[in-house]
């Protein structure tokens, strides 16, 4: 984005929305709300200022030839849907099969967080994470499964709770080899029992 609106413009937009819903933005309890909203947005959407590929740039050679699956399960994440700006909250499960490089596991979590801290749809989020890991580490395969509850369905629209959306992206050996894919699914099942 070449030219972002000023902070004053953004705060005025929040004041306008408060007025639109029928509130008085000058009421004592709301006077500082525009500032608080912008501070929240700075946290919720902090992923725009970070290149997730750079996070994975400090991988290291082969960990003494380790070729087995590296899997992280039950990674909490929260994001906001690009259609309603409502939160969706859930768990990510990520695995890769190293070729000649591995990365510190916290870096995988950071990649998830960067992509999640942008306006998203879950399907795109799942694919972006898998493609970033695949592009930077060049492993034999990558798998990402995400499950989340979408507040745009629970607090508006159809008003249905306890529905989880599950999305997946399988690349390389996870796509081509049913045994490797099943091993990953079994690890997720064992971790969630």
Q: Which residues are catalytic?
A: 81-84, 122, 150, 152
CB count within 10 Å of CB 5 equals 11
- Quote the CA–CA distance of 187 and 73 in Å, as a whole number: 8
28-36 LR contacts (CB < 8 Å, sep 24+): 34/10, 35/11
Using CA atoms, how far residue 143 sits from 77, 94, 190, 192, in Å, is 17, 6, 17, 17
The separation between CA 23 and the C-alpha centre of its own chain, rounded to angstroms, equals 33
**Cα–Cα distance measured from residue 73 to residue 119, given in angstroms and rounded to the nearest whole number:** 23
| Cα–Cα distance for residue pair 193/188, rounded to 1 Å | 9
Residue 42: count of CB within 10 angstroms of its CB? 10
């Amino acid at each position: 984005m070449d030219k972002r609106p000023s902070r004053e413009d953004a705060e005025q937009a929040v004041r306008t929305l408060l007025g639109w819903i029928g509130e008085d933005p000058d009421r004592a309890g709301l006077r500082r709300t525009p500032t608080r909203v912008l501070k929240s947005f700075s946290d919720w959407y902090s992923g725009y200022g970070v290149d997730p590929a750079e996070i994975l740039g400090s991988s290291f050679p082969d960990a003494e030839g380790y070729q087995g699956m590296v899997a992280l399960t039950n990674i909490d994440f929260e994001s906001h849907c690009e259609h309603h700006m409502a939160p969706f909250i859930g768990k990510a499960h990520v695995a890769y099969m190293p070729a000649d490089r591995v990365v510190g596991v916290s870096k995988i979590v950071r990649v998830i967080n960067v992509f999640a801290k942008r306006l998203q749809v879950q399907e795109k989020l799942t694919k972006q994470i898998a493609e970033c890991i695949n592009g930077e580490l060049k492993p034999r395969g990558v798998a990402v499964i995400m499950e989340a509850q979408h507040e745009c369905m629970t607090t508006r629209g159809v008003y249905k709770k306890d529905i989880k959306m599950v999305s997946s992206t399988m690349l390389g050996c996870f796509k081509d080899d049913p045994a490797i894919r099943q091993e990953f699914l079994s690890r997720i099942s064992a971790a969630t029992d």
